[in-house]
Copies of this chain bind each other. A is one copy, B any other.
Amino acid sequence: MTPSQNLLAELAKPTQAFSKAEQKVASAILANPELTTRSSIARLAQSAKVSEPTVNRFCKRLGATGFPDFKLKLALSLASGARFINSAVAEDDTAPTFTPKIFNASIHALEITRDSVDPKLIHHVIDEVVASKRIYFFGQGNSGPVALDAEFKFFRFNTPVSAHQDPLMQRMLAAASKPGDLFVIISYTGRTIELVETARLARDSLATVISITAPASPLARASDLAITLDVGEDTDEYLPMTSRLAQLTLLDVIATGVTLRQGQAHLPHLARIKKSLTSTRFDNSEQDA
């Protein structure tokens, strides 16, 4: 663990072996870390009621080369992690307070996912997508729109692709599948009975099944490859499903990987698609009152 990344947490940690004077410094900083990053050593020493060298020693003990370096690291840890400490939405929140909280929660979910995804697995998934002759995206409920979004994204490739939310349709497609078909099943919980059965049907027909779902869930186990997300949510009544964003971004990653794999060969195809949209748009310059 790098001490620079979480200086604030380090300061607040009760297990820290600070001496009396150092304790004072720590609380003075925690009282207003934001201000501290713009203070002089003299000001901080005064507000902590200790001498300046004590502050300096305190900084060095925490891994900084001196006070300025400490301020820098404090500012950085303030910028990254700190905001999340109390980001639960409360009942008395108003627009200015809950708006950043929700954005931060979403950002946090993406950071977690970014740091936990296994690139090797992504690589394998891309292999499967490239090798497939047909792709189906399945999702129900909240994951339905995600599947639909994936359809738009993967439409750029020459492989036929479709998204389905209807359970019966999903079931029929899975039962009628054949080798070379790829099913990408998206489910936050991985416990939707119909989707798990659909996965089994597809695999019985020797199609490939990839899921984006919860770790160690029935769906993950029923798939050939499972990208598992553990964003950990649904606990707070007010905080929304941040997992969709992680799922969407993951699909972006896969689509990008496929694009890169296919190389320049398909760029004309993309250009044609883009061109087909221009007539539906207002010109960038033109006007309407």
Contacts and interface: CB of A to CB of B under 8 A. Distances in A.
B117 A99 contact: yes
A100 interface: yes
Given A102-B249, A218-B288, A152 B142 contact: yes
A123 interface: yes
- Interface SS majority for chain A: helix
Interface residues of A, number: 78
Nearest to A90: B260
Contacts of A72: 37-38, 71-72, 75
A80 interface: yes
A153 B68 CA distance: 46
Interface centre among A69, A192, A281 (most CB of B within 10 A): A281
A184 interface: no
A249 B103 contact: yes
Nearest to A165: B148
Contact of A103 (B99, B110, B281): B110
A128 interface: no
Contact of A99 (B106, B253, B281): B253
Interface string A115-126: 001011011001
B153 A240 contact: yes
Contacts of A153: 240
Contacts of A239: 256
Name the 10 nearest CB pairs between A and B, nearest first.
A103-B114, A96-B119, A240-B252, A95-B119, A145-B149, A191-B282, A145-B145, A145-B148, A95-B123, A191-B281
30 contacts: A76-B76, A76-B79, A95-B119, A95-B122, A95-B126, A95-B257, A96-B119, A98-B253, A98-B257, A98-B260, A99-B114, A99-B117, A99-B122, A102-B256, A103-B110, A103-B111, A103-B253, A107-B111, A142-B149, A145-B146, A145-B152, A148-B148, A191-B283, A192-B280, A193-B280, A218-B287, A238-B259, A238-B260, A240-B255, A245-B248
